Structure 1
């Protein structure tokens, strides 16, 4: 079962609100972004904070209109009544009038619109930042247990151990199969078959410890492979984050068992045993040298070869052993 990315969606929503806030701020604070032109305003009444009433000529309705406006309280006193040279005793201010859209002919009051837009954009901004904070903190806290469960190094060591065990078991099985194949085409009676002798020599040189190591390797490999499959979410950060709760629980149990098996393998020197077994079983690759060494060794201890063959091939046990000739004494 995959986890639901709740905090990821919260973070996405926060980013969207932040973008909306930035858009409102950008479009509401620049009069040049609107279809408007600058006009002269006659200030009918003005207060100290800049709140005023103004008159302007509306060319679309062809009349003089009057309405509230926010004048620049810091402009020169010469532009304010009664210092401004106006026969009506009005002050002067400049502003922008919409030339397009449903508000054509109305004043674009930057200060009033900016205060209104600031309230909306500020709300969106605060809400967006809050969601972003929740998404980031909550997502990291949720991912923390999964991140702490990554055991990539242990999984790699267990994988190498499983490979070494698998190679040792396969090399021994291949050597036994070579003996059995050679036994089908020849025997150790009369004129011994060179290929059968060479195949037996490989196992004889590896010694009985190769059989025990191969058995241990096969048993260990059979235990490691299922555990490595269950421990896959712990093999890397990406796998860990994508795994569901059940898979992570199984991975933690598998990692615990892998850690014990790897420690036991190091304590008992299994790495070295498996590697040495593989090396010993590969000595027969040089067929010419192996054939010479095998022939010499067979002449010295033929009974040992027959016993080894009887243990590997059930058909060989039924064959009568040839009589050994007595050496003549001169």
Structure 2
């Protein structure tokens, strides 16, 4: 089940309404044109109710009417502080300049005309935007808290190190098996070099590769399940079931990482990979392998039989002047 982005749609709708409000305001919402004029405040109450006069150029006379002045304007603009010898105050208003009502004052402060379409869109859009932002963040918070990027990254690094060990060991073994089928006893330089690489890696190389192989398989399964916990974006996009599986996988990854750290697996993997890559310097490896084979040819034959199978080693072989008989398998 995937996450349903409810608050994202709420935020989108709020943005659309806000854009409509801006467009209506820019278009004027069908209101007639108006211009600002000076008012002479003849009388004024404490709540801003006034009697004002203004010059009406369309009727060519001075008009007087009730108006709602701004009670919060400076006292210097109110009578008797205003510098008018007649003791009047001062305010401004908007006068309509077109339509049948031209010359009348536009009642902006009185609120008698109610909310316009632009105001409704603005208030609705702002409310939906606030709801979408707050609700979306609150809903996303518990999902983001489940991010365990460090654990997933450490597990991925350990899986890569284990995969390298397996690859390096299988490459070294495949060289020995391939050359052993063609050349039989370890006489060819490529076969001797491959056996020398395995001898230098030590008897624990095969065990380390086996451990790495098992660990890689287990880590890959857990890393696939823990993918939603690798970062906030993947965590937010995952559904409830995927997040639950990720939490379980992260818990198991922690246990595996603790065991690996206790056993020093990361160091073992790195050292084994280095040992198995000794054959990369071909000239130096051939010289070292040839010298080592001359000292202990029997050890090379035993290792060849162990890696490539007993069929590539003769049953009777004279080594350093001593006749040796190969023990039957299972003896």
Q: So what's the TM-score if we normalise by structure 1? A: 0.74
Tell me the secondary structure at the aligned position of residue 219 of structure 1.
Answer: helix
The runs of 5 or more residues in structure 2 that have no matched partner are 72-76, 81-85, 323-331
Give the corresponding residue for 1:205: 200
The answer to whether the 8 A contact 1:54-1:69 is kept is: no
* Structure 1 residue 270: Cα displacement: 0.9
- Number of matched pairs: 308
Q: Does 1:108 align with 2:106?
A: yes
Distance 1:297 1:129, change over 3 A: same
- Deviations along 1:272-297, one digit per CA (max 9) or x if unpaired, are 11111111111222223322322232
Distance 1:212 1:68, change over 3 A: same
Q: Does 1:312 align with 2:307?
A: yes
Q: 51-60 or 159-168: which moved more?
A: 51-60
* Structure 1 residue 243: Cα displacement: 1.8
Give the corresponding residue for 1:178: 175
The runs of 5 or more residues in structure 1 that have no matched partner are 78-82, 85-91
Q: 314-323 or 238-247: which moved more?
A: 314-323
Give the corresponding residue for 1:229: 224
- Deviations along 1:94-126, one digit per CA (max 9) or x if unpaired, are 8653222464454323433588459x959964x
2:317 pairs with one of 306, 322, 325 = 322
- Deviations along 1:178-215, one digit per CA (max 9) or x if unpaired, are 112222442327xx212211111111221220000001
* Partner Cα separation in structure 2 for residue 234 and residue 136 of structure 1: 23
Matches within 5 A, 1:9-158: 9-13=9-13, 34-36=33-35, 38=37, 48=45, 50=49, 59=58, 69-70=67-68, 76=79, 96-101=94-99, 103-113=101-111, 116-117=114-115, 121=119, 125=123, 131-158=128-155
Give the corresponding residue for 2:3: 3
- Deviations along 1:30-69, one digit per CA (max 9) or x if unpaired, are x9x93347498999xx785635598986848x99999764
Matches within 5 A, 1:249-328: 249-314=244-309, 316-317=311-312, 319-324=314-319, 326=321
Distance 1:110 1:245, change over 3 A: same
* Partner Cα separation in structure 1 for residue 264 and residue 91 of structure 2: 94
* Partner Cα separation in structure 2 for residue 212 and residue 94 of structure 1: 93
Give the corresponding residue for 1:80: none
Give the corresponding residue for 2:235: 240
The answer to whether the 8 A contact 2:172-2:198 is kept is: yes
The answer to whether the 8 A contact 1:39-1:97 is kept is: no
* Structure 1 residue 271: Cα displacement: 0.9
* Structure 1 residue 305: Cα displacement: 1.6
